[in-house]
A = this chain, B = another copy of it.
Amino acid sequence: MFYTDGQLQYPVRVERPNPVFARALQQAIGGVEGEIRVAMQYMFQAFGARGPSKYRDMLLNTATEELGHIEMLATAVALNLENAPLSFQEEVSADPIGGAILNGVDMRQILSTGLAALPSDANGVPFDASHVYASGNLAADMYANVTAESSGRVLAVRLYNMTDDPGMKDMLSFLIARDTMHQQQWLAAIEDMGGEAMNLPIPNSFPQSQEAQEFSYAYFGHMTDGTIPQGRWSEGPSMDGKGTFSSQVSKPMGGKPSLAPARPDGGGQVQQTSKSGAGGLLGQIEGAIERNI
């Protein structure tokens, strides 16, 4: 279970409220790169963790930290909205370039929340929990977490570069640092589990003898002219040390697929009930109707 002290993990100050930046900040709350996602992701990974309990514990701590990041960013949004225009008139009187400000805000921050944050992204799309990756495989989850913190830090850096408000830059410098740590942390967890080679391919519990091993370390080219882009992925030992990279032009091995004709009572057209479809369509229709009656 959880507790709070009602305080912010790090100071949140806004010197010059900017309602358009309030919209941008939404991405860090309810976007796929945002804090709701990581909080819930680490939480569900912890709640469903099977195996050594230390990983569950580690996940649960960081899930709990991320809840506080939602709080920080929601506060930042509200502070950026303190002076937002509530009407077209108010805006015009305050700003010679009219329309511009109200045009650019997240309308729902005015209409639906009364100048506060939404659990949505910068385009107003609500967070959707299908982005909570918790696969039941710890190594897969660690890479999912590295991904979340990488795109999260990319986002935080873009927000940092977008604003010149000193308070916002300070808050973001903290969140960027935490993303640095969390990228490290999940990679360290893979190391803690024995390292990349021991964990790959994921899941490592499936015997590779049962996969079609002639295709396990081959880069496939799909260019019509037969060229294949070369790089570390096309030659040399594989990253897991269990094979050697090669490359080849991809060839069709499976032939043309062929499905049975539609069944007469399956809701298709009569013409679909044979593979040819040729000849006597009207007769087919009549025949089909008679059979059904």
Contacts and interface: CB of A to CB of B under 8 A. Distances in A.
Contact of A158 (B144, B147, B267): B267
A269 B127 contact: no
A9 B250 contact: yes
B5 A223 contact: yes
B111 A231 contact: no
Contact of A136 (B114, B139, B200): B114
Contacts of A111: 24, 27, 31, 122, 155, 158-159
A123 to B, nearest CB: 3
A185 B55 CA distance: 27
Interface in A20-52: 20-21, 23-24, 27, 30-33, 36, 40, 43-44, 47-52
A264 B86 contact: no
Contact of A253 (B10, B180, B245): B10
B48 A74 contact: yes
A231 B54 contact: yes
B293 A209 contact: yes
A51 B219 CA distance: 22
Count of chain copies: 6
Contacts of A144: 147, 150-151
B127 A125 contact: no
A163 B177 CA distance: 43
A97 interface: yes
Nearest to A239: B187
Nearest to A260: B82
B119 A136 contact: no
A251 to B, nearest CB: 8
A274 B193 CA distance: 13
A65 B91 CA distance: 35
Given A3-B224, A107-B27, A201-B179, A158 B68 contact: no
B40 A119 contact: yes
Interface in A256-278: 256-278
Contacts of A5: 1, 3, 223-225, 252
A191 interface: yes
Contacts of A136: 112-116, 154, 262, 266-268
A119 B243 CA distance: 34
25 contacts: A4-B222, A20-B103, A27-B111, A43-B70, A44-B117, A47-B257, A48-B78, A48-B116, A61-B221, A88-B164, A100-B103, A111-B155, A114-B137, A116-B259, A123-B125, A157-B267, A160-B210, A161-B267, A176-B206, A176-B211, A177-B214, A180-B211, A184-B239, A205-B262, A205-B269
